[in-house]
Amino acid sequence: MPQLPRVAITVGDPSGIGPELVEKALADFRVAAECEPVVYGPPAGARFAPGALSAEAGRAAYDALVRAVEDARAGRVAALATAPINKQAWALAGLPWRGHTDLLAHLTGAPRVAMMFYSRPLRVVLASVHVPLAEVPRLLTFDHVTALLRLASAELPRFGFPNPRLALAGLNPHAGEHGVIGSEDDLVLRPAVAACRAEGIDVSGPFPADTLFVRAVRGEFDAVIACYHDQGLVPIKLVAFGAAVNVTLGLPIIRTSVDHGTAFDIAGRGVADPGSLIEAVRLAARLAASRRA
């Protein structure tokens, strides 16, 4: 029998639902069948109050992640799956990163990364993540959008799409209505799509976002590039909440995560749904096995 890939699983913020999710995932037969899990969490004996925001919990989550990334880069584990961290706890701990994605890029030296949410019915790549909505148009430059489209096209084959069909969502309602409702779609997004098509990338758009995700779910596109956080996450959580997986594209290591937060309101009650973490671990194991093959 071939050896199962070793998958690092971080518990995330120890005051959130992460520890409970990890415990439930470890007991799931599908996880045991697909990988050898290796858990990274606070030191043995450390205690954290469920649902309590603290700098200590934020630092513990950070330290565990750093250890897991070091082992992934050294080849001691084949992939990394992360339970949720709390951004406020990281801020209280004096950490400058807004989330896993920023820190992982820093720790691995990756020049360009992107957040993709993967599910069977829909895949969504985000052009901007944890920034105020007012800052999004400034971030959507021609260079940024073209680089993101190239990255998505290069990474999607790992997920079973050898010739990925990409669609870019418009920033403004009706994709700007030819400049009547904003100029960004015509001045930035359309030229970026045209430039990438000239390079041989199968990308279309920008399309009005209110109908684009329906078209993707029906199979017309393999992935949608969303301009901002909620534009992409609302539809994927509507069709696949609890089963979607957050994947970081562009890293030299495999990293997956859950599609939700720390849920302090239910921490410690034993009612958290481990579905997304289970899917994250399983996807990490499959990607690791595929890479090894």
Q: pLDDT, tens digit, for every residue of 126-159?
A: 999 989 999 999 999 999 999 999 999 999 999 9
d(CA 151, CA 116): 11
DSSP state, residue 186: I
Rg from Cα positions in the chain: 19
Q: What is the pLDDT of residues 176-213, one digit of tens each?
A: 888 899 999 999 999 999 999 999 999 999 999 999 99
d(CA 170, CA 212): 9
Return residue ranges of the chain for CATH 3.40.718.10.
1-110+251-293, 114-242
Residue in 114, 94, 121 with CA at minimum distance from that of residue 241: 121
**Dmax (CA) of the chain:** 62
- Whole-number pLDDT of residue 61: 97
d(CA 46, CA 60): 9
Question: Domain 1-110+251-293 belongs to what topology?
Answer: Isopropylmalate Dehydrogenase (3.40.718)
Percent of the chain scoring above 90 in pLDDT: 92
pLDDT above 60 (res 69): yes
What band does 88 get if pLDDT is binned at 50, 70 and 90? very high
Token pair of 82 as six digits: 């992360």
Percent of the chain scoring above 70 in pLDDT: 99
What band does 102 get if pLDDT is binned at 50, 70 and 90? very high
What band does 1 get if pLDDT is binned at 50, 70 and 90? low
201 with 152: CB under 8 angstroms?
no
d(CA 65, CA 52): 20
What band does 28 get if pLDDT is binned at 50, 70 and 90? very high
pLDDT (mean) for 206-224: 97
pTM of the model: 0.91
CATH of domain 114-242: 3.40.718.10
Lay out the sheet containing 223-226: strands in order across. Answer: 36-40, 6-10, 79-82, 255-257, 245-249, 114-118, 123-126, 223-226, 166-169, 203-207
